[in-house]
Structure 1
């Protein structure tokens, strides 16, 4: 066979291979089944089953916030390992890498990880305007690492009562597609000079319109099926500038049950303290005006002291 014919044959074979792969990806998208590089349901067979994965969204500059959480509501060392083994609860700080991978801030996180072992590193470039992309990557990464009933995202300036959160989620464990949080519907802001400006405001109709109902971004939980859906379709899910809006938009058109539970967005003392005294312990507490606990490094201990559940409650709870 002439060399030119062999080259042509090889080209045809390569094109046929690429066409076959493209068809597979298209069928995967149309049917909702994962492509070969995505997590398959069969891959969960034989894996340890967990109750929930809690990803704490954090930044390079937030070392003091992380330490304040370690000193309050996040179990450390052997207790954290016991939490994973006995309760099926995974807790990790979630962070990507800097624009210059391997730089000073990345090395600082690596040193912190060697000391505490409580990070989930993402293939994602950190940046405030990239939170929607970070959320997609976090969920996809968590699904690939742990087979859990629920995947939770919480900010690193929020106080969490883990047992109370677990009790709330356990009531919905039999439901396949649930989206749990404090649901809201704020105005779509078209003024470039205001906080939470929405560059794509025109998509939401005329001026003065509100967003569709979605969970506030300080803490929310989604069931395994929804997390898997995001993982499979993450390359085609649109990102709005506001992360909580993005997440809510990904579920529009899906058969999803929205659960509005106000115990996931209590205020700091005296609000959460009064509720705890009344027997209605909060799962999450923060200050709305600060979108988290104001000066959380200094104030989270007071929230924990006045509104935190007893350590015993976590170990005696069944989820």
Structure 2
């Protein structure tokens, strides 16, 4: 409400003084009238006292009205509450994006805390998180590992070469999951223009219906690079299967599933394990190079190497680590190279890095000699091509010469 100033008070005092003076004059007039002979007032005349009281009341009412609507000037540095509230209500697009990012971070933090609390509760009850058969109240069979084979729309021939060699099909694929606890799926996102008229989507739907071995992601294929696709794969796999390990492999790598199973089973009792062929290559600061790293300055002076991380051809992590990456995917930094990004997500955690050289054997004759010596490889590829060169044509040859014996394809591994 506006304040009553000294000017207003002086006006009221003046009005009261005028009223008192008027009443004094009226009293004097009455006395003089009483001394005169008594004459009856005309019937239509208003008494003088009433007129004086009415004038005083009107004056006071006017003062109150003026005070009520008087525009009190505000200091120039203090905007009105209405204007400030209105400006706060109008958010720019950049501010809206910041709010969304903050909400994502809050949600990720809550998810991470929830996962940690759930794991702590299981340990207090004497149950290891990796041994639990329940996930968010839905009972699911415990699997040893889920293997995601990263592929693209253009690599149909690569997928077919894998189906003909090391990846079981049909009933054998289902028995592999049921009897051995192993799930293998090709992983691919969506096209940039999905819909019934998309030729790419129709072809993928037909292939998926024919083989039933494809995991589709709610992710535009090729957008934002492979690191984001890996994160989406882990989130989708965690919500679909309950496994001890989650494995990533490229579609130009030959894999011996049984040997891979034996390797992972040895570490099944450990909660946080990162398994692969560990390396540490140089950080490329030359922007004309294929492997140019825009964030090269973060790794110190020129000529420094990356931190130790697994090669991108095949690596595996335990469920706890997959849950951590899935819950924090919005705030985990993505470098140019997928394997560097993945290693950076784990570098600050209490993780056991397992350097398993049998997961990065060379193509024949290397893998062939090792198999003949009784040390078959879990994965084989050509370092010059970062995979099997011309995999659509050569995968059969590599499989014939480097595959484990059929009767030992899925051995009963001894857990540590």
Change (3 A) 1:81 1:31: closer
SS in 2 for 1:230: helix
Unaligned 5+ runs, structure 2: 1-98, 116-128
Q: 2:154 maps to which residue? A: 61
Q: 1:288 maps to which residue? A: 383
Structure 2 Cα separation of the partners of residues 43 and 178 of structure 1: 23
Query: Is this contact kept in 1: 2:149–2:187, CA < 8 A?
Result: yes
Change (3 A) 1:127 1:174: same
Change (3 A) 1:192 1:78: same
Tell me how far 1:128 sits from its aligned partner. Answer: 7.4
Give CA deviations for 1:98-137 in whole Å, capped at 9, x if unaligned: 1112322122111100110100000111117610100000
Check if 1:91 corresponds to 2:171.
Answer: no
Q: 2:165 maps to which residue? A: 72
2:290 to 184, 195, 212: 195
Structure 2 Cα separation of the partners of residues 182 and 140 of structure 1: 24
Tell me how far 1:32 sits from its aligned partner. Answer: 2.8
Q: 1:123 maps to which residue? A: 218
Tell me how far 1:309 sits from its aligned partner. Answer: 0.9
Count of aligned pairs between the two proteins: 297
Query: Is this contact kept in 2: 1:99–1:125, CA < 8 A?
Result: yes
Change (3 A) 1:118 1:30: closer
Structure 1 Cα separation of the partners of residues 409 and 318 of structure 2: 21
Check if 1:161 corresponds to 2:241.
Answer: no
Q: 1:271 maps to which residue? A: 366
Structure 2 Cα separation of the partners of residues 24 and 67 of structure 1: 39
Query: Is this contact kept in 2: 1:268–1:285, CA < 8 A?
Result: yes
The one of the two structures with greater contact order (alpha-carbon pairs below 8 A, sep at least 6) is 1
Structure 2 Cα separation of the partners of residues 312 and 66 of structure 1: 25
SS in 1 for 2:327: helix
Please, what is the CA RMSD of the aligned residues?
Answer: 2.4
Which aligned runs of 4 or more in structure 1 are off by greater than 6 angstroms?
22-25
Give CA deviations for 1:138-195 in whole Å, capped at 9, x if unaligned: 0111111101000000000000000000000111001100000000000000111112
SS in 1 for 2:396: helix
2:355 to 260, 267, 282: 260
Query: Is this contact kept in 2: 1:188–1:210, CA < 8 A?
Result: yes
Check if 1:26 corresponds to 2:72.
Answer: no
Unaligned 5+ runs, structure 1: 1-18
Query: Is this contact kept in 2: 1:129–1:241, CA < 8 A?
Result: no
Q: 2:9 maps to which residue? A: none
Q: 2:84 maps to which residue? A: none
Q: What is the TM-score with the length of structure 2 in the denominator?
A: 0.68
Query: Is this contact kept in 1: 2:105–2:331, CA < 8 A?
Result: no
Change (3 A) 1:199 1:44: farther
Q: 1:12 maps to which residue? A: none
Give CA deviations for 1:283-316 in whole Å, capped at 9, x if unaligned: 0000001000001111111110000012321344
Check if 1:219 corresponds to 2:314.
Answer: yes
2:339 to 244, 262, 267: 244
My pick for the range that moved more, 265-274 or 43-52, is 43-52
Q: 1:178 maps to which residue? A: 273
Tell me how far 1:236 sits from its aligned partner. Answer: 1.1
Structure of greater Rg:
2
